[in-house]
Structure 1
Amino acid sequence: MASGTNSNEIIHDFPPFFKAFKDGHIERYLTHDHFPAGLDPNTGIQSKDVVISPETGLSARIYIPKINGPDQKLPLLVHYHGGGFCAGSPYETVLHKFIISLISQANVVVITVDYRLAPEHPLPIAYDDSWAALQWIATHSNNKGPEPWLNEYVDLGRVFLAGESAGANITHYVAVRAGATGLAGLKIVGLIIIHPFFGGKERDEMYKFLCPTSSGCDDDPKLNPAVDPDLSSLGCTKVLVCVAEKDWLKDRGVTYCETLGKSGWGGSVELLESKGEDHCFHLFNADGENFRPLMKKIVDFILRD
């Protein structure tokens, strides 16, 4: 697999994500667009980008719906994007469109976290960034945190965590950590787990490259919740798991539901399967017939809190 010189030799190739070269540099197969923050003229939804930690560069994008009165406090949805822990961002057009649609129907504030990507920042950095973001959000519980939109418009007693693919994996991890260690300042009501990545032999080699300390999909609690001693401490009261019929990750998502049911965790879990669909279709086929049922399920899940 050499391309002429030793320094340009490919030592790992993980399409459709990236290839790694012997000299240490990474070449990604896909590049992603950057949708600017600002006012959405069709909905009145506003967004802006904020820095959570200048030391690490951890940042996020915050969305607020059109506010009706100064005392309106809305639920908060904390979102973690997908991309195999090594791609994606909160700033992509496809994600922006999904978030706008969700806010329009659920009337929530959304913050989507720009955690640092592997392999340049090896796992578990993405997990630690995601946890740090939730801790930062919790500092707004007395309405004196660093971000005015969170102080003014958010009810931290009604927090939801959500993500797709790798972001769904992170969502679960953060919720378990919140429940096991305690996180004063906010209450996580529910998790929205969309097409979750919980390992699988097909991606085991890639995950262990991204996370050199991982033992693989069977023994690593981040990939196999069944072996996590803290699973029953999951820090919420309900979970919605969405899977897609043609997604190779579907079985792991179904198993996740079953594992939660047997764990001793006292909450409720719901499963939605989108027939005829593949992984993360909701981002790439928002005009398809299965998008609306998925969105309705998510919105109803939020509004039932």
Structure 2
Amino acid sequence: MPESNTMDIPSSDYQPLIVSNPDGTYTRLVQLPTVPASPDPNKSTYPVVTKDIPVNPTNRTWFRIYLPRRALDSSSTTNKLPLIVYYHGGGFIFLSAASNMVHDFCLTMSEQLDAIVISVDYRLAPENRLPAAYEDAIEALHFISNSEEDWLRKFTDLSSCFLMGTSAGGNIAYQAGLRACEQVHKLEPLKIKGLILHHPYFGGLERTASELKMVKDPILPLPGNDLMWELSLPVGADRDHKYSNPMAGRGSNMFELVRAIGLRVLVTACHGDPLIDRQVEFAKMLEEKGVGTVAHFGEGCHSVELIDRSKAESLVLAIKDFMF
């Protein structure tokens, strides 16, 4: 790791949003506002109510459950709701399940999809490099499958679960999905039916045309992209590591198992995203491997639906078509 607190970023006009300190700690220069869970879900009048549940006190991981209010008000629990387990973005380094844009996005999904959403708060890099986030992601799934939490037992159809993530969270959802394929029986009664990869965050040593075209993208500039991989990958790993580049060596050796289980994948992306070339290549690779794949490509910047909520409608429709 370079000693300079700018991490030797090769751009004179790039200002990193995280800096290293002499004592080995890191300071994040941008912190988004956070939102608490519903103080008393039973008294809330909002269409979606929430609560926070600790998962691993040692690692300080937890998740937030989003439940459509109408389910809580209903006297019947026979028609249980599908489950979306969501992993937030932030380059593995920033944000949390309580960040306002993450919270609002999950509220929208829960209400418009009439689904229970669980937003997982995982350990962040560089304090906890990959695969820490993947380990937290799969641990949360085991916790959900064994939990006696009232909302999960009464209202959640654990046999209809989808893993979803935005940006780095899309990367996490993919890796968690592969791990889940190896642990199908251990996860019962939780059954993962599909992956929803929203602007998945992938990288590689060779620059793509879209990365070079949008090197100074305001959302995901290339120097910032490089820095996040430098700080999140295992020490000594390059961007062709399997955590970063799922196309390296033309992909995982687990696709036969993925096909056998019948896991489907929705890949959503935008043509204004520097990562679009990687996302298109990833979707094509899944199709070549015989994985049931749906691609939904639109226009906009990286993670646009979290930044401009008016863009979320087409995404919600694509997710609804995929789930139902």
Tell me the TM-score normalised to structure 2 length.
0.81
Mapped pair 1:209 → 2:231:
yes
Contact 1:65–1:108 (8 Å) recurs in 2: yes
Which residues of 2 match residues 251-266 of structure 1 at below 5 A? 251-265=277-291
CA distance in 1, matches of 2:286, 2:182: 15
CA distance in structure 2 between the partners assigned to 1:259 and 1:180 by the alignment: 21
Q: Does the CA contact (< 8 Å) of 1:113 and 1:133 recur in 2? A: yes
Partner of 1:142: none
- Identity, % of aligned positions: 32
Task: Report SS of the residue matched to 1:82.
Answer: coil
Q: Whole-Å Cα distance in 2 between the matches of residues 91 and 105 of structure 1? A: 20
Q: Does 1:20 align with 2:7?
A: no
* Deviations 1:16-39 (CA, angstroms, capped at 9, x unpaired): 541223431212121021111115
Measured at CA, do residues 155 and 26 of structure 1 come closer, stay the same or move farther in structure 2, by a change above 3 Å? same
Q: Aligned to 2:129, which of 122, 126, 130?
A: 122
Q: Tell me which moved more, 122-131 or 18-27.
A: 18-27
Match for residue 269 of structure 1 among 293, 296, 302: 293
Q: TM-score, normalised by structure 1?
A: 0.86
SS at match of 1:31: coil
Hey, what does 2:199 align to over in structure 1? 195
Please state whether the residue corresponding to 1:172 is helix, strand or coil: helix
Q: How far does residue 219 in structure 1 lie from its aligned partner after superposition?
A: 4.0
The verdict on how the C-alpha distance between 1:244 and 1:206 changes in structure 2, with shifts beyond 3 A counting, is: same
Pairing 1:10–2:5 present: yes
Displacement after TM superposition at 1:179 (Å): 0.8
**Range 84-93 or range 201-210, more displaced:** 201-210
Task: Quote the Cα distance in structure 1 between the aligned partners of 2:285 and 2:238.
Answer: 18
**Is 1:60 equivalent to 2:97 in the alignment?**
no
CA distance in 2, matches of 1:279, 1:35: 23
1:42, distance to aligned residue in structure 2 (A): 6.1
Residues 219 and 227, structure 1, Cα contact 8 Å, conserved in 2? no
Aligned to 2:313: 292
Indicate if the aligned counterparts of 1:221 and 1:227 stay in contact, CA closer than 8 A. no
How far off its partner does 1:291 sit?
2.8
- Give the aligned partner of residue 75 of structure 1: 82
Structure 1 residue corresponding to 2:108, chosen from 94, 101, 123: 101
| Count of matched residue positions in the alignment of Structure 1 and Structure 2 | 287
In structure 1, how many angstroms separate the alpha carbons of the residues matched to 2:19 and 2:36?
A: 29
Alpha-carbon distance between aligned partners in 1 of 2:182 and 2:275, rounded to the nearest angstrom: 27
Give RMSD over aligned pairs.
2.3
Greater shift in the superposed pair: 41-50 or 236-245: 41-50
- Counterpart of 1:31 in structure 2 is 31
> Per the alignment, in what secondary structure is the counterpart of residue 10 of structure 1?
coil
| Alpha-carbon separation, structure 1, partners of 2:274 and 2:284 | 18
Conserved in 2, the CA contact under 8 Å of 1:204 and 1:216?
Answer: no
Residue correspondence of structure 1 range 101-250 to structure 2 within 5 A: 101-139=108-146, 145-182=147-184, 183-185=186-188, 186-201=190-205, 202=222, 203-204=225-226, 206-213=228-235, 215-225=237-247, 226-234=250-258, 236-250=262-276
The SS at the match of 2:110 is: helix
In structure 2, distance between residues paired with 1:205 and 1:280:
19
2 CA distance for matches of 1:280 and 1:216? 24
How far has the Cα of 1:181 moved from its partner?
3.6
* Residue 104 (structure 1) shift: 1.5
CA contact (8 A) 1:13 1:20 kept: no
SS class of match (1:111): strand
| Residue 215 of structure 1, CA deviation | 3.0
Aligned AA (2:157)? D
Kindly tell me: are residues 198 and 63 of structure 1, through their superposed partners in 2, closer, same or farther at Cα, counting changes over 3 Å? same
